Structure 1
Amino acid sequence: MRQIIALGGGGFSMEPDNPLMDLYILKQSGKPSPNICFLPTASGDAENYINKFYQFFRRFPCRPSHLSLFRPPTRDLEGFLLEKDIIYVGGGNTRNLLILWKEWGLVPVLKKAWEEGIVLAGISAGAICWFEEGVTDS
Structure 2
Amino acid sequence: MDDDGLLDDWVLGHARVPRPKMCFVPTASGDAPAYLDRFLSAFESRACEPSVLPLFRRELDDAALRTFLLSQDIVYVGGGNTANLLAVWRAHGVDRLMREAYDGGTLLCGISAGANCWAEGSHTDSFGPLTFLPDGLGLLSGSVCPHYDSEPGRRSSYQAAVGTGALPSGWALEDGVGALFTNGLLTETVTRTPQAHLYRVEPDGEKAAMERAVSCSLLTQSLSSFRVATERVTQAESG
TM-score w.r.t. the length of structure 1 is: 0.87
Q: After TM superposition, list the pairs within 5 Å mapping 1:97-108 onto structure 2.
A: 97-108=85-96
Give the drift of 1:70. 1.6
Give the drift of 1:78. 1.0
Residue 132 of structure 1 aligns to a residue whose secondary structure is: strand
Query: 1:63 matched to which residue of 2?
Result: 49
Deviates more, 1:56-65 or 1:68-77: 68-77
Q: After TM superposition, list the pairs within 5 Å mapping 1:1-138 onto structure 2.
A: 12=1, 15-16=2-3, 18-75=4-61, 76-138=64-126
Q: Which runs of 5+ in 1 are unaligned?
A: 1-11
Q: Residue 86 of structure 2 aligns to which amino acid in structure 1?
A: L
CA offsets 1:81-129 (integer angstroms, 9 cap, x no match): 0000000000000010000000001111000111111000000000000
Give the drift of 1:30. 2.8
Which structure exhibits the higher relative contact order, with contacts defined as CA atoms closer than 8 Å and separated by 6 or more residues?
Answer: 1
Q: Which runs of 5+ in 2 are unaligned?
A: 127-239
Q: Residue 30 of structure 1 aligns to which amino acid in structure 2?
A: R
Aligned residue pairs total 124
Is the 8 Å Cα contact of residues 67 and 73 (structure 1) preserved in structure 2? no
Query: In the aligned structure 2, how far is the partner of 1:134 from the partner of 1:63?
Result: 30
Query: In the aligned structure 2, how far is the partner of 1:73 from the partner of 1:61?
Result: 27
- Alpha-carbon RMSD across the aligned residues, in angstroms, is 0.9
Query: In the aligned structure 1, how far is the partner of 2:124 from the partner of 2:6?
Result: 26
Q: Residue 68 of structure 2 aligns to which amino acid in structure 1?
A: F
Give the drift of 1:73. 3.8
Query: In the aligned structure 1, how far is the partner of 2:17 from the partner of 2:57?
Result: 29
Which aligned runs of 4 or more in structure 1 are off by greater than 3 angstroms? Answer: none
More strand by share: 2
Q: Residue 67 of structure 2 aligns to which amino acid in structure 1?
A: G
More helix by share: 1
Between the aligned residues of both structures, percent identity stands at 46
TM-score w.r.t. the length of structure 2 is: 0.51
